[in-house]
Structure 1
Amino acid sequence: MDKRPSVLVIGDLMLDRYITGTASRLSPEAPVPVILYQSNEDRPGGAANVALNLVAMGCDVTLVGVIGEDAEGELLLSLLLSPHIDTSNIEADSQRPTTSKTRIMAGAHQVARVDREIASDVWEHHAHTFLRLVRKMLRPESIGGHPFDAVVFSDYAKGVVTEDLVRKAVENARFCGEDGIPVIVDPKRKDFRAYKGATLITPNVAEIQLATGKSVGSNEEASTVAQDVAERYECSVLLTRSEKGMLLCDKENGLKTMLITSRPVSVSDVSGAGDTVVAAVAAGLARGLDLEAACRHAEVAAEIAVSKPGTSIVTEAEIIKREAAA
């Protein structure tokens, strides 16, 4: 049996909660629907969702992040129990809650969302711990080797992913293995300079427009902006564009851009689709695919993800099946 690729995932851990019911009338107290409760469900979100998607795509994962010392944190850890996920490097913090997003659903329609979080940077103690982990885990083979085939930063701007942490990971990853190992970032910051030197960043339209102040509506605009970002921050860019598919700007190929079109799909929910994309790219690169092939693999994974309700897991078997049916 081939060895499973191993991926280091660092980022913001979340608990996605869904309370589902039916709505047939408005409240007499306010112009809002009354939801008659039917069920509730908890799912891992953020970096935790990336980890579960990577496992479903055939990878082993070491997960780094912060949870609160609360029931939500304990529940999130229980949802991550897997022989393929190492959660021993998740830090508990008594001063901040486990980030949670509670969605109120009327059937398939979201009518409200309640967030519980502290988005400021994690305590200096945690930041130093994560820096030490990166130094220890991403070492040149000449001084002990490294166990990873790719590194993912799942940055939801909740305080775990710092500029120093990304810089150290990018710096160390260059010297791991013969050609280094890829560092992939799912960005949420208003400024991409923290990700400078990464192998690939995967912004969506809203994120790249916020970071650059430029429109990416047309293919020409998207290509120009992606090239500017790739050149400025010395990284390739995979711009996800919903029904328009994706646009890849390959830094290693002279900033060449290419469109990766999507096939028609019935969209159920876009929650977590970005997590699936970064997981699929990382899984592909960890297996040795070139960047274009890994990104095409990710587009297929995204098509599957948005066809499922809520934060969902996409398996390697599902991707292969959809690719074969194309």
Structure 2
Amino acid sequence: MIAAHIESFSRARILVIGDVMLDHFIWGAVRRISPEAPVPIVEVTKETTFPGGAANVARNLSAFTPHAYLMGRVGKDSAAGELRRLLHEEGVNTDPMLESSTLPTIAKTRIIARQQHVVRVDRETIQKLSAEELDEVCRGVEAMLPELDGLIIEDYGKGFVTQAFADRVLGLAKAAGKLVTVDPSPHNPLNWRGASLVKPNRLEAFAAAGIQDQRTPGPPLEDKRLLEVGEQLLDQWAVGKVLITLGEQGMILFQRDAAPHHIPTQAREVFDVSGAGDTAIAFLTLAMAVGLSAEEAANVANHASGIVVGKLGTARVMKDELLNAFED
């Protein structure tokens, strides 16, 4: 049965909207400390680049469907060219992208030595969408909606997603009866009224609810503060579903008029959690877009996230890996 569901992902047409970036990795080894300062000297062995942020979500989709579209903002620079090249190679349609003549493409460089993250260097200018850019976004979304099965709003707090953006895009999608899932940023508290489901991680959920997380030991369904946060966010965001990812404890789904549903983690080994949230929202939306229930979709997302945390760097899940995860 799961194989048939995974095959059906190929017909899902999904638009990812949000903060796009280029992830640059410098790999090397450390054998000595610099004589100039007490810092390690990294001897570089290779460099790699991957789509990051909302672009990584679209990349996760494109391994399962040829109908993955990406809308974000890039600059007129070499990073934008590299990002487009990578996305085109992996089957992501970047036609809806906005190009800014004044802002650079967001790029993050991570230096990794012997599988240890040494430092990260960010190149970014955080600036909200202008009124003209927002109008362009809305025209593009409205034109695409009849051909879409779902939208993913991916907010990294870099300026693309604002309350005006959320209100207009969610309004358009709701009027068209389309599925919309949201991956929120803790640094950009917004009202998500009109979304189908919002997927914060535990830190983001507690921050949004304004409740201190005391990390009560024990099963998530016995964590009173966690249960309080989930129920509060359903009302606070005025949405029907909230899925909170819990790292090594899996995920917990909150729905109106239903008991919280816990999905234990499927991860066997954890090497790198970067990008796990991108994978979760991608597969959650894919599964819901082809008709799976929220519980079934969360289970698929949980299996996919369990695979990607076992890989180093910004990674994606392939079809055979997901099938094998369910068979195992």
Give the TM-score, by structure 1 length.
0.91
Q: Secondary structure at the match of 1:88?
A: coil
Query: 2: CA distance between counterparts of 1:96 and 1:255?
Result: 45
Residue 107 of structure 1 corresponds to 114
Q: Check 1:175–1:82 CA distance in 2 against 1; reply closer, same or farther (3 A cut).
A: farther
Tell me by how many angstroms 1:110 deviates. 0.5
Q: Which residue of 2 aligns with 1:261?
A: 264
Pick closer, same or farther for the CA change 1:57–1:114 going to 2, 3 Å: same
Post-superposition offset of 1:199: 0.8
Q: Choose which of 180, 185, 190 in structure 1 pairs with 2:182.
A: 185
Displacement after TM superposition at 1:301 (Å): 0.5
Shift of 1:24: 1.3
1:142 counterpart residue number:
none
Distance in 2 (alpha carbons) for counterparts of 1:170 and 1:181: 9
1:192 Cα deviation from its structure 2 partner? 4.2
In the alignment, which of 67, 84, 87 is matched to residue 80 of structure 1? Answer: 87
Query: What's the TM-score once normalised by structure 2's chain length?
Result: 0.91
Alignment of 1:1-326 (within 5 A): 4-82=11-89, 84-138=91-145, 146-176=146-176, 180-190=177-187, 192-216=189-213, 217-218=215-216, 219=220, 220=223, 221-235=225-239, 236-251=241-256, 254=257, 256-325=259-328
Residue by residue over 1:98-146, the C-alpha shift from the partner in whole angstroms, topping out at 9 and shown as x without a partner, is 00110011121100000011122133321221022223333xxxxxxx1
Following TM superposition, by how much is the alpha carbon of 1:166 offset from its aligned partner in structure 2, in angstroms? Answer: 2.0
Question: What letter corresponds to residue 173 of structure 2 in structure 1?
Answer: A
Partner of 2:301: helix, strand, or coil?
A: helix
2: CA distance, partners of 1:224 / 1:113: 35
Secondary structure class of the residue paired with 1:18: strand
Contact 2:183 2:198 survives alignment (8 Å): yes
- Please, which moves more after superposition, 47-56 or 118-127? 118-127
Deviations 1:228-277 (A, max 9, x none): 001221221111111011111013xx153111101352111111111000
Paired residues, what number?
313
Determine the C-alpha separation between the residues in 2 that align with 1:323 and 1:222: 28
Q: Is the 8 A contact 1:49 1:311 kept in 2?
A: yes
Deviation sequence 1:139-174 (CA, Å, 0-9, x none) = xxxxxxx11111100111111112222222322323
Aligned-partner Cα distance in 2 for 1:113–1:103: 4
User: Following the alignment from structure 2 to structure 1, what is the Cα–Cα distance between the partners of residues 274 and 231?
Assistant: 27
TM-fit CA distance, 1:82: 4.8
Whole-angstrom distance in 1 between the partners of 2:74 and 2:188:
25
Identity among equivalent pairs (%): 35
Q: Quote how far apart the aligned CAs of 1:25 are.
A: 1.2
Question: Structure 2: where are the runs of 5+ without partners?
Answer: 1-6
Gaps of 5+ in 1: 139-145
CA contact (8 A) 1:58 1:316 kept: no
Q: Supply the distance in 2 between the matched residues of 1:7 and 1:190 (Cα, whole angstroms).
A: 26
Q: Which residue of 2 aligns with 1:143?
A: none
**Matches of 1:195 and 1:29 in 2, distance apart?**
50
Note the aligned Cα RMSD (angstroms): 1.7
